[in-house]
Structure 1
């Protein structure tokens, strides 16, 4: 009799656990929480958590609470694939957000098609992500081409003018793709392109690459990498008195230079997709304000706002799609993403078709902001 009661208690506990799970809607999140770009991935994951908390405090989605299932892809494309399979097969998520870098995202994409699960791409910029013919991909971040075209509108603001540029790029799909798009933009605007140096994702010393760029005759150096390497590149370039002005792409910000700036008077320029220093100029300042207040309440580092918003906007986008779908089912969510319109921190989010006919991916048209950093202070350009 006692065994029967124990078994019944266990069975009841299992049923209650299953019921509790049914009362939530899972969203899978794949981010680099360890490895060379862990700072950026952690910011995005924290932004996603803030959005989920905000939505849950206001009733959740379809009367259920959002449950984020966050997995570490360890800054590695193989781990990104493993993470996707864990989220889809073990955790049964009907939709994903990920996977920060272009290389990680491209590695993940075949699994989305294999299992029929949509993913909102919050960061990666390689054009191949939306031109590869994967109808389960919806990107809210700009492509490198979009970023380059947005920057082209700022060229006339530089004094002295940009006449010749070099490139220092992380040696992966993101860095190489950004260099290709920015080179094409500069050449189209009559600006000479000089030398290109690449660096591995885990490099912790860029002095050799910077030294190779010293006497090229260029006035500008375009740097594309994660926040850790951006910070290192600017610090070492200023210490070596590299003659080129530095402009960084990709939306990351060298946060350590706020509290520990380089030599006095040294200026660097940064292309961002959200500028917390000028949040009042955002398309939806009230949304940006709520995000920033939530971030501050968690005591997250202020500069991380420049990347955390990606996770926040991604969760808002997924939640709206689930609401439109009326159910947390992968195909229904995918179909609903085409109809989704969201007021986000970066601006208005909606998807247009990109890629081969019949297998298009979704691409948003985000905003790009330009700021300058000097002596630990940030100003809008």
Structure 2
């Protein structure tokens, strides 16, 4: 370990023992292109901390969330993590929403020896890179594609040819690769593959290119803001393909201001608050939802917010198991976590090179159809 890393680790351990709270560092996009998602995740984390603190906290101390805005930018994500580790002396982190941001901060976790629970990012590279400080509660794109594979044959009309419109980053391109692989394995033809920058608002060129491909299905991967734009513009341009979105984001703005009348889109999500009874642990989901409602937050934001909630439950349980708020002890304890979350059971399997494995949980996947502003869980 670098001398700077060793010094930071020692300082973090000493501070954790002396402070009156147990700190958890959070790096999320609170401004920038995906701010809506990052804000919802952060709100979910705050609700989890409130629930835990009302029950006595952890190790007899209240949780304290130290929150940094990574500004929807990988460089800022790195800066935020360094601040949290070196300035705030946090012994554990949650973050950093995007695969691109998470991959950017991973070397810092190894350098300073601090674990991170990854609550959203889906790139397979995150858990196969050989970083033993990474523990992911969200599914990889490969896991999401495999879960959807079991539903594909039930579609009527059948899925025979698929196009893709993906945000041009590690997440979007990785998702397209995994879903393409899954569809090909089922004998489904692949049509055109289009990309968009994360901040693009006019998608007319991409949609025009997709309109005449002869495909029956269009897979879209991006955050809340861009999904909303893509679906609205697709309905206005009368793009004929059935639209299915991946990655767990839900275009909530279409609830209040729907796309063209009669236009339907489907969304793969990891928690469906419209059908809480379908959650594996409804009592946990209801506790989260009660906290969400009490804060007056937008109801559909729970499809993102639960990620922060489950991640903080996971971290708190690891600290409890460790018996101390120190980075190495928390890392070891994360392997022993076994608890009920909003999305389902949370426990980590080893992924990656032997001796440097990362942890990966196995979340559930739901399909929600949105038509004329009304969602229904399939």
- Please tell me the TM-score bracket, short chain as reference: over 0.9
State the match for 2:7 in structure 1: none
Report matched runs for 1:1-381 at 5 Å: 22-381=19-378
- Equivalents in 2 of 1:317, 1:338: separation in Å? 11
Query: Unaligned regions of 5+ residues in structure 2, if any?
Result: 1-14
RMSD: 1.1
1:326-368 CA distance string (max 9 Å, x none): 0000000000000011100000000000000010000001111
- Equivalents in 2 of 1:278, 1:212: separation in Å? 36
**Bigger shift: residues 152-161 or 234-243:** 152-161
- Equivalents in 1 of 2:96, 2:327: separation in Å? 18
- Equivalents in 1 of 2:363, 2:143: separation in Å? 8
1:46-79 CA distance string (max 9 Å, x none): 0000000000011000000000001000000000
1:296-352 CA distance string (max 9 Å, x none): 110011110000000000000000000000000000000000001110000000000
- Shift, 1:20, TM fit: 11
- Equivalents in 2 of 1:280, 1:205: separation in Å? 38
- Shift, 1:157, TM fit: 2.1
**TM-score normalised by the chain length of structure 2:** 0.95
- Equivalents in 2 of 1:350, 1:19: separation in Å? 25
Query: Unaligned regions of 5+ residues in structure 1, if any?
Result: 1-17
Change (3 A) 1:355 1:73: same
**TM-score normalised by the chain length of structure 1:** 0.94
Find the residue that maps to 2:102 and give its secondary structure.
helix
Change (3 A) 1:350 1:263: same
Find the residue that maps to 1:202 and give its secondary structure.
coil
Preserved contact between residue 16 and residue 91 of structure 2 (Cα < 8 Å):
no
- Equivalents in 2 of 1:215, 1:57: separation in Å? 56
Find the residue that maps to 2:153 and give its secondary structure.
helix
Structure 1 residue ranges, 4+ long, deviating more than 2 angstroms after superposition? 18-21
Structure index of larger Rg: 1
- Equivalents in 1 of 2:209, 2:369: separation in Å? 25
- Equivalents in 2 of 1:47, 1:284: separation in Å? 17
- Shift, 1:19, TM fit: 11
Find the residue that maps to 1:228 and give its secondary structure.
helix
1:94-122 CA distance string (max 9 Å, x none): 00000000000000000000000000000
Change (3 A) 1:19 1:303: closer
- Equivalents in 2 of 1:41, 1:380: separation in Å? 24
- Equivalents in 1 of 2:120, 2:357: separation in Å? 19
